[in-house]
A and B are shown apart, each in its own frame.
Chain A
Amino acid sequence: MAESIEITPEMRAQIGVESGPWPYEVTATGVRAFARGVGYTDPVYYDPAAARAAGYQHLPAPPCYLGTPAFLPGHSDPVFSTQPGADPRPRYGLTQVLDGSTETVYERPLLAGENLVGRHRLVDMHVKQSRTLGAMLVVTSEIRFCGDAGEVVARERSQRIFY
């Protein structure tokens, strides 16, 4: 348990810096895998014919699924599969991580067959004291997702807790 955590000027300098673009793919296989992982039984997320009958051209992305980040060995995080720079854990030497919160704002529905581009930005960092976990570093970040024409299709803001 960490007694205290110092946010160094070097860490603070990361706030506001936007990453380069990273591909996020919304594929039929990805939609099915996510729906299965959550436990959906709704055929619209599995069967293109059911999706068409519900008014979609392709399988729709279930809520909270923004595509799968392309995995590139040596660049992507080997455990979380996140794009480079989206997980500050190794840099700060804290080993344990929990999700704190997640919020997604959509501009339009997402469908299988879309190739999105995500850009990650660190929004805030602060230290919080927990009775059970000790000092925790709370990191807020945002990923801005764009479609083919560069239009913003969704924004996901999340808080992760490192301790």
Chain B
Amino acid sequence: MPELATLAVGDELPPITRTLDRLQLVLYAAGSGDFNPLHYDPDFPQARQIGDNIVFGRLKYAALGQLVSDWLGHRGFIRRISASYRGMDRRGQPFTCRGRVTALRKKRGQCIVELELWTEGSDGRRTTEGTAEVALPLCDSG
């Protein structure tokens, strides 16, 4: 949960590292309704061509949402969240969700926090890049 009094540009969100097995990919298919076999069927031609099943882009997007949600601890409102999928993450290979505060401003009794979000593979290469805007109540630092 962010400490509003000390929140500052450059602050990093506590990272989340995920390694998704086939079961987790199937659970996401069920939860999202996206049953594209690329993400869970090893014999699917597109998966064979790529070399393995790959993580749903939107799962990485939602995992960045989780990063923000876990950080907020239900104290704020996510007004906007975006991600673009720059590279593939394969099944069973760890990736880490990270975020950083890029701007803070006061607006009508709220603190608007801009975040930079990304996922990176174990080699540090960014596979997803995004941003979010969060409204927190009663900012002291603006």
Complex contact B83–A102 (CB within 8 A): yes
CB of B27 within 8 A of CB of A36, answer yes
Write out the residue numbers on chain B whose beta carbons fall within 8 Å of the beta carbon of A100: 57, 84-85
Given the contacts A42-B70, A63-B68, A105 and B79 also touching, CB distance less than 8 Å: yes
B78 engages A63 (CB within 8 Å):
yes
Q: How many residues of chain A are within 8 Å of chain B by beta carbon?
A: 40
Interface assignment of A130: CB less than 8 Å from any CB of chain B:
no
Task: Check B65–A64 contact: CB distance below 8 A.
Answer: yes
Binding site for A on B (CB under 8 A): 18, 20, 24, 27-37, 46, 56-59, 61-66, 68-70, 74, 77-85
Contact B58 A102 (CB under 8 A): yes
A69 near B: Cβ within 8 Å? yes
Query: Is residue A23 contacting chain B, with contact meaning CB distance below 8 A?
Result: no
CB < 8 Å neighbour of A102 from B66, B77, B82: B82
A-B pairs with beta carbons under 8 Å apart, 9 shown:
A33-B31, A34-B32, A37-B29, A63-B62, A69-B33, A79-B34, A99-B85, A102-B82, A103-B83
Contact: B66 with A38, CB < 8 Å? yes
SS of A interface (majority): mixed
A133 to B19 alpha-carbon distance, docked (Å): 26
| Mask: chain A, 61-72; 1 = CB below 8 Å from B; 0 = not | 011110011010
Q: A42-B70, A96-B46 are in contact. Are A64 and B62 (CB under 8 A)?
A: yes
Listed from nearest, the 8 A-B pairs whose CB atoms lie closest are: A37-B31, A63-B65, A81-B33, A99-B57, A37-B28, A103-B82, A101-B84, A33-B31
Question: Which residues of A in the span 50-91 have a Cβ within 8 Å of any Cβ on B?
Answer: 54-56, 60, 62-65, 68-69, 71, 79-82
